Chains A and B, each alone.
Chain A
């Protein structure tokens, strides 16, 4: 995973070696330090140290009022986050995984995403909700699904998916500054991603996709856990003389149509990678937009590499088969490029 450390522009101090997990933790530390309205709440964020150790040490540093352990009550504590946000605080709600967020879906859809509209603009919900998503660790069907595409279909919320250290470090601050709810998805396979970051956080724009690699023959569009696979596929394609551009969606809602369309207009071919089930997926939405906005630029049908339509199975070989793999991305790119002739 560390084959593609994110490099950043000019910096004065030597960069620090860190991980995705630590970058997230630093972002929380900054937020808690710089704004007394910010507090973190969720299951085991305090004494346990965070189920994925993101908040490790924060309880000791900020105390239990601001790093607040909750009972297993996803609906209630997410709703409580919404209420506190209505009163002008800046809660960060951590839900252990997207699978469990379904117990809070009512609060997220029917309150967080909707209160501004239903109240005719009187209310604002400046809430950040973070959760883990994704498969790849043999956790079976109730711990492995990628449901972020569902969230990306909900008007009223912004949906982010940091896939790099820089975004893990830099997305929380603008998310907290957003007057509306922001849902952040952290892919479970990324926490140990390591690399370097500049000492001072780089501002991250949470409205645009990022081109992670430039290329001319085909655009690979991915996000979260899929980004590393797309970059690896691009490396493999490069050895065959195929130049792939790689776009990291990173903002799943609202989608950055301009970046996608501009790239596809240059390469004329696209492959969309999405770990979620194919039907009704975010990949489906991206393909639809390409077809709507860049149809006449296309030299080949847009390809999709998605998760198989099966609850994620436990055995390693079946889980691998259920998820997009680098070879699948390479094969899809071959089909796209081959169709040129």
Chain B
């Protein structure tokens, strides 16, 4: 790659991570102001995974995610306005306001949610990949889930099925070392998740999930492998959440020291430092550039909040809409226009 391409790649990744970070910070504020309700799970600290994995996909690929999915949705290109409106419960939200923070959907972008049952999306990802396989579609289905989900039977059943049937699934385990308050070593007898996944007969490896370049590169390799071989693949992305599990979580189960140690690995300053270290940009320019990006991103967020605020609520008379298919509703195989 030429130097300009490196700069473009680095700044592109950095920009998107900053965008997600600022968005999440705004969500936390809006939650405290009771504008966003329900459960809210932030991905602050884990932006390198969202940006590195989801940003590497092509439009034909599908994404299945969890309740900690704002970053995944934004990286997938779901418009910020639609994500924010969803959290405000407005009809202009990406799920029509019905789902809220944990249930972001965007069928046109093949973003299949937003699942709040831990591991609940995994079997569905297998099914999406099965359909792609049966119709010879070259798409890969990427399924993001946590280290906690890895303990569920649904993960193990899905991994076996995908390997057994040779399905194009990319399993991305976002290992942030905790399932709510339960530390990795208290949920798994063997904590090397990639090695265990390999036991299902898949190519699997662990990646530094705080390093967006490493995540990006691993994802590209994994995607190429899945597309070429038609076999599933597993990435364990080792990361950390800087905030509590959700806004309800008093975070009693880990030490400030531990959190601070991980904050030193913050993917955003880490990548900014790489720009300087690799002599792609002088330190002063990086600082200026970042300040500029923050300004742009904050403007985008402010516009999204304002739009969400002004957006309409769905009329109460529509309460029982979207339970079963009604005329004009989407049906499988019939792509929404």
Identify the closest chain A residue to B117 (Cβ).
A142
Contact status B152-A72, CB under 8 Å: yes
Residues of A within 8 A of B151 (CB): 71-73
A232 contacts B by Cβ under 8 Å? no
Bound-complex Cα distance A139 to B89 (A): 12
Bound-complex Cα distance A43 to B39 (A): 18
CB within 8 Å for A310 and B179 given contacts A73-B152, A139-B39: no
How many B residues have CB within 8 A of the partner chain?
41
Identify the closest chain B residue to A64 (Cβ).
B186
Contact status A69-B182, CB under 8 Å: yes
Contact status B97-A314, CB under 8 Å: yes
Instruction: Please encode chain B, from 63 to 93, with 1 for each CB lying within 8 Å of some chain A CB and 0 for all others.
Output: 0000000000000000000000000011000
Residues of B within 8 A of A139 (CB): 38-39
Distance (whole angstroms) from the CB of A119 to the closest CB of chain B: 25
Distance (whole angstroms) from the CB of A174 to the closest CB of chain B: 31
Q: Which of A74, A141, A315 contacts B313 (CB 8 A)?
A: A315
Contact status A313-B153, CB under 8 Å: no
A186 contacts B by Cβ under 8 Å? no
Contact status A308-B148, CB under 8 Å: no
A100 contacts B by Cβ under 8 Å? yes
Instruction: Please encode chain B, from 43 to 78, with 1 for each CB lying within 8 Å of some chain A CB and 0 for all others.
Output: 000000000000000000000000000000000000
B127 contacts A by Cβ under 8 Å? no
Q: Which of B37, B117, B186, B314 contacts A318 (CB 8 A)?
A: B314
Q: Which of A49, A72, A316, A321 contacts B148 (CB 8 A)?
A: A72
Question: Which of B118, B149, B188 has most A Cβ within 10 Å?
Answer: B118
Bound-complex Cα distance A74 to B120 (A): 13
Q: Which of B100, B115, B118, B181 contacts A48 (CB 8 A)?
A: B181
Contact status A315-B187, CB under 8 Å: no
A266 contacts B by Cβ under 8 Å? no
Binds A, one of B224-232, B234-242, B260-268, B315-323: B315-323
B180 contacts A by Cβ under 8 Å? yes
CB within 8 Å for A71 and B179 given contacts A140-B103, A318-B316: yes
Of residues 134 to 159 in B, which have CB atoms within 8 Å of A's CB atoms?
Answer: 148-149, 151-154
Residues of A within 8 A of B179 (CB): 43, 71-72
Contact status A141-B103, CB under 8 Å: yes
B289 contacts A by Cβ under 8 Å? no
Identify the closest chain A residue to B89 (Cβ).
A315
A87 contacts B by Cβ under 8 Å? no
Residues of B within 8 A of A308 (CB): 319-320
Contact status B149-A72, CB under 8 Å: yes
Contact status B187-A71, CB under 8 Å: yes
B124 contacts A by Cβ under 8 Å? no
Residues of B within 8 A of A311 (CB): 323
Of residues 129 to 178 in A, which have CB atoms within 8 Å of B's CB atoms?
Answer: 137-143
Residues of A within 8 A of B252 (CB): 47-49
Bound-complex Cα distance A252 to B309 (A): 43
Contact status A322-B319, CB under 8 Å: yes
CB within 8 Å for A49 and B250 given contacts A43-B180, A140-B100, A310-B323: yes
**Interface of B toward A, CB cutoff 8 Å:** 37-39, 89-90, 97-100, 102-103, 115-120, 148-149, 151-154, 179-183, 186-188, 249-250, 252-253, 313-314, 316, 319-320, 323
- What are 6 A-B contacts with C-beta separation under 8 Å? A43-B179, A69-B182, A73-B152, A138-B100, A314-B99, A315-B98
The 4 A-B pairs with the shortest beta carbon distances in the complex, nearest first, are A48-B181, A315-B89, A314-B100, A71-B151
New A-B contacts (16) at CB < 8 Å, excluding given A48-B253, A138-B89, A139-B38: A44-B180, A47-B253, A71-B182, A72-B118, A72-B151, A72-B179, A99-B117, A100-B118, A103-B154, A140-B102, A142-B103, A143-B102, A310-B323, A313-B319, A317-B313, A318-B319
